[in-house]
Every structure is written in structure tokens, then in C-alpha cells.
Structure 1
Amino acid sequence: MKIIKLSAIDSTNSFLKDLAQDSCLENFTIVTTESQLKGRGQQSSVWLSEPSKNLTFSVFVSFKNFEISNKKYLTFAVSLAVYEAIIEEIKHDVFIKWPNDILSGNKKLCGILVENSIQKTKIKYSVIGIGLNVNQTNFSEAIDKVTSVKLITQKKYDLDVFLNSIILKLKSRIRELENQDFKKLEDNYLSVLYKKNTPTMFKNSSDGLFMGIICGISKDGLLQIELEDETIKEFGIKEVSFA
């Protein structure tokens, strides 16, 4: 496992993607930075982090024979690895918000961005970006509903130790992925999915409100919500949010 430490970079994911194209990388190569200037989240959203207080890093993971049709299980594996590292410290009230944010209560702790390199029908490798609020305690008023591990536990953390914990759990979950233990990954993911089986008010992409119950994830990785008429509708990222 190779770790590249940078003092500042626009985006660890962009840096690692460029590195992967130009050289042969060791599996689980990590790029981490004290200050990420242009961190990216899902669908071009921005991830902001106070320098030297949090974990902002990306991991290169290569695959020998991983079909793109099974990519939702990669989302499950990565989310669960980060969730498990966090739950060891916070102990309770931690959830995965579809597809791969980590929450404490209803406040965001961590954002994850998975970018895949595709070759025909297979994922050749993935660059997994993780931004976890660890020791930061002050957040901009412009950012709503965020928290950190330190705010919850009142303890300061060694970032290198926390990073190592996440990587160990990621390696274990990727091993399950490669062994095609898909049912275990899905069962584990759904067991900690935020608001699953709970009547909830949602907002669609046109700002329409509706009541529904999260009941699962489709084969293509879409969020399945049971509506009041007992039909099930599927939504992609940015097509639905909590009202």
C-alpha cells in the first residue's frame, strides 16, 4: 500500500485519476492532502474542508474481473467500509444515506465519490474519493446539516490512525466484492440505510412533494421508493431528496 501525502491539491480524485492514466499504480495506492482546494462530490457538488482537520483522500482500486452490471455493490462495499470505521468511534445513530453519504442523525459526516474506468463490460479500476469530517468543529453557516466525529465524541483523532482503519475495512469489503458475496453486501447496506422502511416526505426534481417509504435499491443502483398507492418508483441521483 503506497501513500502519497500532499500539502495542498485541487482534488485528490483528479490527481489520482491522472496518475492512473500515466503510470502503473500499486493496488490501494492512496493520495491524501491536508488542504483540498476544489474537492468534488456527487454530480459536481463541492466538498469543503478545513485544512489539516479532516480526512480528504482518494484510493486507487483495481479489479481483475468485475462486471459493470454489478457496480452498485461497489457503492455498497465502499460505503460500508467508511461506515464501519466511523461506528467504532461514534457507536450509534450512524447511517448511510443513499447512495453513499454517511450521516450521524440527520447531519452529514462524510461524502464519497467513486469514479470508474470502464473497459468494454468491466470496471478496470476505480478511484474512490472520501471526505470525512474528523476534527473540524466550526463550519460555515452556508453549509447546512453537517457535523464531525469530534463534535459528536468530544475527542481529537489522529488522522493517520483513522485513515488506516478505513483502508483496512475497505480492503475487507473489496475482498467480499471480488468473491461476489453480493447478498451479504446488500443486506449489510440496507440494514443501515437512512430512513429505510420509514414513512418519509420526499421532494422530486421539479420540487413536487410526495410521501413514500424507501424499500430497496434496484439492479441498476436506483433508489426504490414505495408510494402511497403501493406502487414502487425508482429514482436516480438528484431526482429525489428528503423534503
Structure 2
Amino acid sequence: MKLIKLDAIDSTNDFLKALASQEELDNFTVVTAENQIKGKGQMGSKWQSESGKNLIMSALVKGFLFDNEQVFNLSIVVSLAVIETLKSLDISDLSIKWPNDIMSYNKKIGGILIENTLKSDGRIVSVVGLGLNVNQTNFTELPNASSLSVISGRTFDKDVLPFLITEKIEQKIEAWKTNSKVFWDEYFNSLFRKGVPMPFKNLQNQNFMGIIQGVSPVGKIQIMLEDDSVKEFEIKEIQMLY
């Protein structure tokens, strides 16, 4: 793993994408930053992080995705790799809020943003962005957020986390080749609030009750509605109210 450490940057994802377009980088090249000025979340939402306290990283992944219909597979691999790493650090009650927010109890501690580029030769090159709240303790403006430090009551060496997480991603990508079904099962079993009635909001700002049933092969969430029908939703088509 090649590591590029930066002080402040607009976006580690944008930096790594630009670098990868200029030169042939090693697989699993990682960029980290102490401060990210224009951090991004899913569908253009902002990722806020206190400078120097948290993990901000992007990793280059090549040779895993070969079809646009498979892109959600990488979300599964990465989110499970993060969960497994955090379990090894004794972080409790971990789950994945669809599609790939990392939760502890009912608080968000991390978010993943994967951006894929289709090359002229048909290859798909992915930049995996991860923001993980590590040692930040002030979340006054983010009531639904928390951090490893708040949850565990201790301070972490965030500089070792990129190595632990990237190693786990590599291991899971290799293991995916022999038994991908295990990963889908593990992802579903790790889903936040699966199988319990809970409120959602749709694009028309209408609230409705539903039960998470699963996730489709292309990453749409499957929700059973009050009439017992099951409907699939894209990212940002619905908001989970919790």
C-alpha cells in the first residue's frame, strides 16, 4: 500500500481521481488529509470534520469491478471491511445504514463515498472515500453523529487506521472471488434497523411506514410497505427517520 499524506485538501477523492488520470498508480494507493475543505457525501451532500481529529482517506481500487451492474459489490466489501476493523478495536453495536453509513448504536460515525470511472479499455477504476469520526468529541451541530472516542471513552491513533482498513479491503476482495454470497448475507445481517417497522420520508416529503427487507443486486433498498407490497428505492429517493 502506497500512502500519500496531505495537510489540507478540497477533497481526497478529487485529488486521487486527478492523480490516477495523470499516471498509473499502484492498486490500493491511499490518500489521507488532516483537513478536507470540500468533503463530499452521497449525492453531493457535505461531510463535515474537525481538523486533525478524524480519518479522511481515499483508496484506489482496480481489478475488482468489471460491469456497471456490479458497482454495489464494492460498497458491500468496503463497509464490511470498516465494520470488521472497528470490531477489532472494540467498538460496540456496529451496523450499516443503507447504503454505506457506518453506525454505532443509533449514531453515525462514518460515511463512504465510492466514485467509479469507466476507462476506454472497459476497466472500472474506483476511488473509495471514507470519512470516519475518530477523536472528535464535539457534535453540537451534528446531533445524529458520534465518534470512536465518544463511544469508547478513549483516544485512538488514527494514523494506523488507513493501513488496517485497506488491508481488510484487500483481504475481502480476494475472498469475494470464492464466495460472494457470504458477503451479501453479512451485509444484510449488518443493516441498521432491518426487519423492524420504522418511518421513512419520500421525495414528496410524505412520511410512510415500512420494513427493510433487503437490498437488490444493484444496491436499491427493498422496503415492505403497509399494504405488504415490496418497493425498491434508489439512494436519496427516501430518507430514514430515526
Is TM-score (shorter-chain normalized) higher than 0.5?
A: yes
Shift of 1:162: 2.0
Contact 2:95-2:191 within 8 A present in 1 as well: yes
How far is the alpha carbon of 1:219 from its aligned partner? Answer: 2.2
Tell me what 2:54 maps to: 54
Among residues 209, 212, 215, which one is paired with 1:214 in the alignment? 212
Letter in 1 for 2:148: V
Match of 1:200 in 2: 198
Segments of 4+ moved more than 6 angstroms: none
What does the per-residue CA deviation read over 1:159-216, in whole Å, with 9 as the maximum and x for residues that have no partner? Answer: 1222221111111112233x16321110010011001111111111111111111001
> Which residue of 1 is the match for residue 69 of structure 2?
69
1:55 and 1:91 map into 2 onto residues whose CA distance is: 16
Contact kept, 8 Å, 1:68 with 1:121, in 2: the verdict is no
Give the % identical residues: 46
Offset of residue 88 of structure 1: 2.1
Q: Distance in 2 between matches of 1:118 and 1:109?
A: 30
SS at structure 2 position matched to 1:115: strand
- The structure-2 alpha-carbon separation of the partners of 1:65 and 1:149, relative to structure 1 and needing over 3 Å to count, comes to closer
One-letter code aligned to 2:199: M
One-letter identity of the residue aligned with 1:241 = Q
Distance 1:98 1:175 in 2: 24
TM-score with structure 1 setting the length: 0.94
| 2:152 partner letter | T
Contact 1:59 1:127 in 2 (8 A): yes
Residues 147-156 or 81-90, more deviating: 81-90
Give, as a single letter, the amino acid of the residue that structure 2 aligns with 1:85.
T
Letter in 2 for 1:44: G
The offset of 1:144, in angstroms, is 3.0
Question: Structure 1, unaligned stretches of length 5 or more?
Answer: none
Contact 1:204 1:239 in 2 (8 A): yes
Alignment of 1:182 onto 2:180:
yes
Could you list the per-position Cα deviations for residues 40-74 of structure 1 after superposition, in whole angstroms to 9, with x for gaps in the alignment? 11000111111111100100011166222122211
Question: For residue 110 of structure 2, what is the aligned residue in structure 1?
Answer: 110
AA partner of residue 143 (structure 2): D
